[in-house]
A = this chain, B = another copy of it.
Amino acid sequence: MKRFFIILTLPLLLISTSTAQPLTDSIKIKQYKKVAQQFVSSALKERKGYDALKNLCRIGPRLSGSRNSLIAINWAKNKLIEMGSDSVWLQPVMVTHWERGDIEQAGIINSKKFNGIRLHISALGGSIGTPPEGIAGRIIEVQNFEELKEKKDSVKGKIVFFNRPLDQSLLNTFRGYGEAVDQRVYGAIEAAKYGAIGVIIRSITTKYDTVPHTGVMHYVDSLPKIPSVAAGYLDANFLSRIIKEDPNLKLNMLLNCKTLPDAKSFNVIGEIKGSGHPEEVIVVGGHIDSWDVGQGAHDDGAGCIQSIEVLDLFKRLHIKPKRTIRCVLFINEENGSRGSKEYSNFAENSGEINLAAVESDRGGFTPKGFNIRTDSSRIIEKVKSWLPILEKAGIDWIRKGGSGADVGRIKNARALFSYVPDNQRYFDLHHSANDVFETIHPRELELGSAAIAILVYLLSEEGL
């Protein structure tokens, strides 16, 4: 099957590349601007996405395998049906199923001065629990894996405290996050190499408060699995200070989180069939799962709602797309990516042409631009020629860059896009109890919907 479709789609790809011309027709540009303004006006005035996100957030957090995640999946399916999508379906997939449990504590013992003080912590996603009596160990603080290696002879039996903060001096908070997140993801592996019994990390956040930020962490089978938690920013400051004052103090950690057998779940898919080239598919998506703290309002409730609203904007403005527009709400982005693997397998083998995919997973903030991932400089030039139309929703640039964790797996797409909103506030909230609906601004969220809708509309009209 697969080989057959490769042969079939190859000529189409060649045709497409040769027609990837920048948009210069001024009458067309004018018409497109008019439609773009309709998207913007409808989104900003009606605030339907904002209202929908409120309802999604009311369900609560939506970690893969949880009851809430299934409620949210069902809610999104019904939403796509109600708005009159041409078809809506659930794509089954087995997902990671980790549960935090109801106990997570970390407190100071073995210290005259600091005994009994508790830290604000959050178990990292995927962490094992502790024995019922907890674990306790002295703390060794390091900034990075190099320092850990240097101190390897002092690690045994201790809890490793990874304390390197997100670098606030960078304009791009995603870069700061990317440079700090190894501690969270691989900290337990590195620490276990040298005999550590647990890991505590400084939360990877831009906010100076006590709210811990969770996120995925990994183990390898060849090393002992050790429990791992994140401490709030100010708690990390405090911990760093008191272990200097009293190096003999111990941290007592008590967690009853655990990984259960994989659970059945679903990607949520809804689409409007293209009127001219129904076989050419434009995916727009976000991930329906969230961490189990907060409400996943920005990460990635916003992206899901924006993806749903793209379809709804076409419907309520009675715009029939030439190419098929498919909303895909991926499950399990946070701790397994099973949803995106499942969808990309399907997309590779479906016989459809994966024209483009747009991901929104950077929060519901004011639009800045779109990253585009493609090897074709002609496609980039073509998309850049759409900027005067995209500007209607506040899009200032198109840049070559990464797409996103979910759509990035759709390998045979001609171009992959990541919607890039302002990122200054994102890591204040990301993976924490602060990621709630109240932090969503209606105009910011809705402009994102409009910006993505305009891009999808132009992809649908102009192809690639």
Contact = CB atoms under 8 A, between A and B. Distances in A.
A26 interface: no
A306 interface: no
B171 A447 contact: yes
Interface in A72-95: none
B396 A396 contact: yes
Contacts of A45: 168-169
Q: Which of A41, A168, A424, A443 has the most CB of B within 10 A?
A: A424
Contact of A441 (B42, B44, B425): B425
Interface in A165-182: 168-171, 173
Interface in A359-406: 366, 368-369, 392-394, 396-397
A169 B393 CA distance: 11
A40 interface: yes
Given A424-B366, A424-B447, A171 B393 contact: yes
A366 B441 CA distance: 14
Contact of A44 (B40, B170, B447): B170
A42 B42 CA distance: 41
A206 interface: yes
Interface size class of A (residues with CB under 8 A): 20 to 34
A461 interface: no
B206 A443 contact: yes
Interface string A313-331: 0000000000000000000
A420 to B, nearest CB: 11
Contacts of A173: 443
A104 interface: no
A422 B366 contact: yes
A444 interface: yes
B444 A44 contact: no
Contacts of A397: 396
Interface string A43-64: 0110000000000000000000
A169 B44 contact: yes
Nearest to A207: B442
A424 B396 contact: no
17 contacts: A40-B169, A41-B170, A44-B169, A168-B443, A171-B393, A171-B447, A206-B443, A366-B422, A369-B396, A396-B397, A424-B441, A424-B443, A424-B444, A424-B447, A425-B441, A425-B443, A425-B444
Nearest to A394: B171
A175 to B, nearest CB: 12
Contacts of A444: 424-425
Nearest to A396: B396
A392 B369 CA distance: 16
A45 B168 CA distance: 6
A44 B168 contact: yes
Contact of A366 (B168, B366, B393, B447): B366
Q: Which of A171, A366, A397, A447 has the most CB of B within 10 A?
A: A171
Contacts of A422: 366, 422
A91 to B, nearest CB: 35
Contacts of A169: 40-42, 44-45
A444 B24 CA distance: 36
Q: Which of A42, A366, A444 has the most CB of B within 10 A?
A: A366
A425 B443 CA distance: 8
Interface string A194-213: 00000000000010000000
